[in-house]
Amino acid sequence: MNDLAKRARGITSLRDFLALLEDAGQAITWSERVMPEPDVRNIAVAASRDANGAPAILFDNIAGYPGKRTVVGVHGSWDNIALLLGRPKGTTIRELFFEIAGRWGDAEAQICYVPEGQAPVHECRVETEINLYNILPVYRINEYDGGFFLGKAAVASRDPEDPDNFGKQNVGIYRLQLQGPDSFTLMTIPSHDMGRQIMAAERTGLPLKIAVMLGNHPGLAVFAATPIGYEESEYSYASAMMGAPIRLTKSGNGIDILADSEIVIEAEMQLGERVLEGPFGEFPGSYSGVRKAPIFKVTAVSHRQNPIFENIYIGRGWTEHDTLIGLHTSAPIYAQLRQNFPEVTAVNALYQHGLTGIISVKNRMAGFAKTVALRALSTPHGIMYLKNLIMVDADVDPFDLNQVMWALSTRTRADDIIVLPNMPAVPIDPSAVVPGKGHRLIIDATSYLRPDPIGEAHLVTPPTGADIDALSKQIRAMQGGAAT
Amino acid sequence: MSETICPRCSSSGAATDYQGMEDGTVIWTIHRCVVCCFSWRDSEPPSSIGSGVRSADFAVDAANLDRYPKILQQ
């Protein structure tokens, strides 16, 4: 294992990762005085224009928030994701995809428990006169958001009907809107684990307690958003994928939380209550509507000394949201497809959380790619998100859009598409005729096989493979050297 | 009831949730509308909090709150 990989596996906290990023030139501190609005948003958007190389930006001089710190863009570039995975800057997206896909099922989870009294997250404790604004230097993420949102909060909860089951404990990223000093709303949908738990609590009258973790181990931020099965623990999954132990402790309300998070907010849902939430500039690049969402009352807050509030810019892409979850949206679909179809060679679902996906497959017979596409629609993520699917042959790299366009140009017939009307759909897709319901599109851009009489008799085969990839990197490195 | 008017639904009576202070001076104040749940900071640009400047597309009709759907209905 090289030094980069060793250091990545030694990360236990946001602070560790920020130090690693800073050493690699991938984190900067913004100490010039800024206003919460619009400065933090403007700087975050400017940074996210560089999807390959944007740094994390730590603000430590925000007007009206003396002594408080906020960070954006921690997962805001492929270089930052590469460093998290122990790979050097400049690693290609395709290489990162196979790094993650190769880790799938490769390692055992390592969970260790830290006594509450020794957990850094509990260094400071607030149980009375709670005012979240006094702890979190929040700002309006997009100008027409309905309030101040926490866009990168990992929410941990236990199944209200099976509270002792570690696997059914859910950790997910949900948007939270502050609703006064000690309350917030949480937005989810019935198909998400949190939505299931909220509905179960309200159906049975059982309490639903949650712990909201902010400023977390950067591996959890990535993997908590990964669509895995309901009974799989996100903590175990994150540990296995990072190949390193995850340090947990208990929150004051009895939920397993990361021991090294910056801030943890403990709260309880107000059964049956709803208040207005939104709009919020969401990942499709448009605002959600205003809806009535469940409200949670804060019961306590724990935080490290001098905590760092981590947030995200999300809106019209590219944004940190795309680099944060893109590969980890793609990898599970790949792994799940390969259980049935080992012919699948790669999945690119980077675009708007998989609203468009590109799948490469070794075609076994005419039309086979369409069969694989239909299977993709029944994966956990595919059920709601995979709206447009482009199927390409294994000789096309789905991460290289020039190659994908070549396949569309030369291998697609207008009647080689399937439209599946009135399917389930993620409600915030702005193109949906009815929120929550929409059409699916499958474009078969694979070449023709028998019994189809038409095909590419004389295909040019330019040199490909590891040698050519290495030459490409060498050319880029030589260019970079000339620029400096 | 406060006189503070909500920039989104024009209701009065907004709550004051927090004041950003530096050396004893108030830098800005965060308000919350108790009718439409809009929260804002009084230092924000007019495009977000200016009555008549904000896009009408994002106004909330305080007289018709029933039109907003409730999520996670059983």
Asked if the structure places residue B69 within a domain, the reply is: no
List, for residues A361-413, the tens digit of each pLDDT value. 999 988 999 999 999 999 989 999 999 999 999 999 999 999 999 999 999 98
**A290 and A381 belong to one structural domain:** no
**A297 and A395 belong to one structural domain:** no
Pick the residue from chain B with its C-alpha nearest to A185: B37
**Does A320 score more than 70 pLDDT?**
yes
User: B-chain residues within 8 Å CB-CB of A289?
Assistant: 68-69
Contact (Cβ atoms closer than 8 angstroms) between residue A234 and residue A170? yes
Pairing of strands A437-444, A183-186: unpaired
Reported confidence tier of residue A432, pLDDT bands at 50, 70, 90: confident
Is A123 annotated as catalytic? Answer: no
- Do residue B27 and residue A275 have CB atoms under 8 angstroms apart? no
Pick the residue from chain B with its C-alpha nearest to A192: B72
Asked if the structure places residue B37 within a domain, the reply is: yes
Reported confidence tier of residue A484, pLDDT bands at 50, 70, 90: very low
Q: Between the CA of residue A422 and those of A86, A305, A387, A439, what are the distances in Å?
A: 43, 51, 11, 5
**A281 and A367 belong to one structural domain:** no
Mean pLDDT calculated for residue range A451-458:
70
Residue A113, beta-bridge partner list: A248
- Do residue B45 and residue A292 have CB atoms under 8 angstroms apart? no
Asked if the structure places residue B39 within a domain, the reply is: yes
CB-based contact, B48 to chain A, within 8 Å = yes
Asked if the structure places residue B32 within a domain, the reply is: yes
Q: Rounded distance, CA A393 to CA A396, Å?
A: 6
Let me know the angle formed at the C-alpha of A151 by A137 and A216, rounded to the nearest 5 degrees: 80
Asked if the structure places residue A282 within a domain, the reply is: yes
Listed range (A33-47, A252-266, A449-463, B1-15) with the worst mean pLDDT: A449-463
Mean pLDDT calculated for residue range A44-73:
97
Listed range (A156-170, A412-426, A456-470) with the worst mean pLDDT: A456-470
Give the pLDDT confidence score for residue A482 in this predicted structure. 57
Mean pLDDT calculated for residue range A211-221:
95
Mean pLDDT calculated for residue range A6-13:
94
**A158 and A47 belong to one structural domain:** yes
Listed range (A222-236, A327-341, A463-477, B43-57) with the worst mean pLDDT: A222-236
Give the pLDDT confidence score for residue A236 in this predicted structure. 87
Give the pLDDT confidence score for residue A86 in this predicted structure. 96
Asked if the structure places residue B73 within a domain, the reply is: no
- Do residue B44 and residue A195 have CB atoms under 8 angstroms apart? no
Average pLDDT of chain A, as a whole number: 92
Percent of the residues in chain A that have a pLDDT greater than 90, as a whole number = 76
Asked if the structure places residue B3 within a domain, the reply is: yes
Give the pLDDT confidence score for residue A457 in this predicted structure. 62
Q: Rounded distance, CA A345 to CA A396, Å?
A: 10
- Do residue A291 and residue B71 have CB atoms under 8 angstroms apart? yes
Give the pLDDT confidence score for residue A167 in this predicted structure. 75
Asked if the structure places residue B71 within a domain, the reply is: no
CB-based contact, A205 to chain B, within 8 Å = no
Asked if the structure places residue B60 within a domain, the reply is: no
**Does A456 score more than 70 pLDDT?**
no
Q: For chain A, what is the domain count? A: 2
Asked if the structure places residue A467 within a domain, the reply is: no
CATH of the domain at A63: 2.30.110.10
CATH of the domain at A347: 3.40.1670.10
**A60 and A189 belong to one structural domain:** yes
- Do residue A276 and residue B36 have CB atoms under 8 angstroms apart? yes
In this predicted complex, what is the ipTM?
0.98
Closest-CA residue to A173 (of A207, A223, A238): A223
Domain span at residue B45?
A: 1-52
Q: Rounded distance, CA A266 to CA A255, Å?
A: 9
How many beta-carbon pairs under 8 angstroms link A with B? Answer: 103
Give the pLDDT confidence score for residue A455 in this predicted structure. 67
- Say whether pTM exceeds 0.90: yes
**Does A1 score more than 90 pLDDT?**
no
Percent of the residues in chain A that have a pLDDT greater than 70, as a whole number = 96
Let me know the angle formed at the C-alpha of A298 by A262 and A153, rounded to the nearest 5 degrees: 40
Reported confidence tier of residue A164, pLDDT bands at 50, 70, 90: confident
Q: Rounded distance, CA A422 to CA A414, Å?
A: 21
**A356 and A452 belong to one structural domain:** yes
- Do residue A274 and residue B60 have CB atoms under 8 angstroms apart? no
Domain span at residue A267?
A: 3-310
The helix/strand/coil state of A328 is: helix
List, for residues A231-275, the tens digit of each pLDDT value. 678 898 889 888 899 999 999 999 999 999 999 999 999 999 999
- Among B22, B38, B71, beta carbon nearest to A146: B38
Residue, of A80 and A1, whose pLDDT is higher: A80
Asked if the structure places residue A477 within a domain, the reply is: no
Supply the Cα-derived Rg of chain B in whole angstroms: 14
**A303 and A433 belong to one structural domain:** no
**A177 and A81 belong to one structural domain:** yes
- Among B18, B41, B71, beta carbon nearest to A293: B71
**A185 and A36 belong to one structural domain:** yes
Look at phi and psi of residue A379 and say left if phi exceeds 0, alpha if psi is from -120 to 50, else beta.
beta
**A175 and A302 belong to one structural domain:** yes
**A42 and A115 belong to one structural domain:** yes
Pairing of strands A344-351, A388-393: unpaired
Asked if the structure places residue A468 within a domain, the reply is: no
**A166 and A43 belong to one structural domain:** yes
In tens digits, chain B (74 residues) has pLDDT values of 678 999 999 999 999 999 999 999 999 999 999 999 999 999 999 999 998 899 999 999 999 999 999 999 87
Q: For chain B, what is the domain count? A: 1
List, for residues A121-139, the tens digit of each pLDDT value. 999 999 999 999 999 999 9
Asked if the structure places residue A474 within a domain, the reply is: no
Question: Residue A357 carries which side chain, given as an amino acid letter?
Answer: G
Asked if the structure places residue A316 within a domain, the reply is: no
Residue with tokens 């801030």: A263
- Among B18, B55, B58, beta carbon nearest to A133: B18
**Does A483 score more than 50 pLDDT?**
no
- For A388, phi then psi, to 5°, come to -115, 125
CB-based contact, B43 to chain A, within 8 Å = yes
Give the pLDDT confidence score for residue A228 in this predicted structure. 60
